[in-house]
Amino acid sequence: EAGVAQSPRYKIIEKRQSVAFWCNPISGHATLYWYQQILGQGPKLLIQFQNNGVVDDSQLPKDRFSAERLKGVDSTLKIQPAKLEDSAVYLCASSWGGGPFEQYFGPGTRLTVT
Amino acid sequence: SQQGEEDPQALSIQEGENATMNCSYKTSINNLQWYRQNSGRGLVHLILIRSNEREKHSGRLRVTLDTSKKSSSLLITASRAADTASYFCATDGPGGSNYKLTFGKGTLLTVNP
């Protein structure tokens, strides 16, 4: 079974630029998550999709972050404009449904904002 | 905000020894999960324990949950160098239907060969 795919793996941008991350979840997984993990901390949930609807985006900085999940499969996370404090690893995860299922994580995108 | 707090922040042991990590949380939960993260395999689910369970086993892993003390522990027996990683507890709840996970800051475990 193929795992969660993410791209790019690394990205370096200057502050005020924009960036987009892409995620392809495990086939058949209805729920998709985007997390932000700052160095030395645990992942923090940014947004959770159930199929192509948003279940929770309470911790998403909506003035600069946006995310979509087209057709309930792939998802993109965008930051515009980026700030220095956005430097982090962005993790995508998926699970079978919205219940207490284990989440499968992708390798992440390491973003450096200079 | 982070719900779980792992203790200790860092732990260094010799191969073959047991490792115990603890997680405390503030509000009532539905479920608690443990994850491992290393550079090779990323973040991987280890075990899930529900709020009405007290203990679960999976291979060399043993997890306990004490909801009265709002705490959980992860025991790794007969550790191996490959167990070197950061270990996170993640909780969902209270209430709600989306089972949103809140992760702690993690325990960095180093197993020396």
Number of residues that make up chain B = 113
B3 token code pair? 């719900």
Set of chain A residues whose Cβ sits within 8 Å of the Cβ of B29: none
- Given strand A65-69, what is the order of strands in its sheet? A5-7, A19-24, A75-79, A65-69
**In the predicted model, is pLDDT for residue A1 greater than 60?**
yes
- Closest in A40, A99, A105 to B99, CB measured: A99
Six-digit token string for B4: 């779980």
Higher pLDDT, B62 or A72: B62
Contact A103 B98 (CB under 8 A): no
Q: In percent, how much of chain B has pLDDT > 90?
A: 77
Q: How far apart are the first and last CA of chain A?
A: 37
Residue B1 has pLDDT above 70, yes or no: no
SS3 per residue for B64-99: EEECCCCEEEEEECCCCHHHCEEEEEEEECCCCCCC
Residues 6+ apart with CB under 8 A from A41: B2, B105, B106
Amino acid residing at B57: H
The tally of CA atoms less than 13 A away on the side-chain side of residue A73 is: 5
- Least confident range from B42-46, B56-60, B99-103: namely B99-103
Q: Is B44 on the interface with A (CB under 8 A)?
A: yes
Whether the ω angle into residue A81 lies within 30 degrees of 0, i.e. cis, is yes
The closest alpha carbon to B50, from B29, B31, B24, B67, belongs to B31
A53 CB near a chain B CB, below 8 Å? no
Does residue A103 sit at the B interface (CB-CB below 8 Å)? yes
Cβ-contact B25, B91 below 8 angstroms: yes
In chain A, the residue whose alpha carbon lies closest to the alpha carbon of B49 is A100
On the 0-12 / 13-18 / 19+ scale of CB atoms within 10 A, B38 is: middle
DSSP A102: P
pLDDT one-digit tens code per residue, A25-67: 999 999 999 999 999 999 999 999 998 899 999 999 999 999 9
Nearest chain A alpha carbon to B88: A42
Q: What is the DSSP letter of A64?
A: T
pLDDT band of residue B36 (cuts 50, 70, 90) is: very high
Contact B34, B46 (CB under 8 A): yes
Q: Given this model, what pLDDT does residue B98 score? A: 62
Mean pLDDT value across chain A: 94
- The angle at the Cα of B38, spanning B43 to B113, to the nearest 5 degrees, equals 145
Spatial distance between the Cα atoms of B32 and B71, rounded to a whole number of angstroms = 10
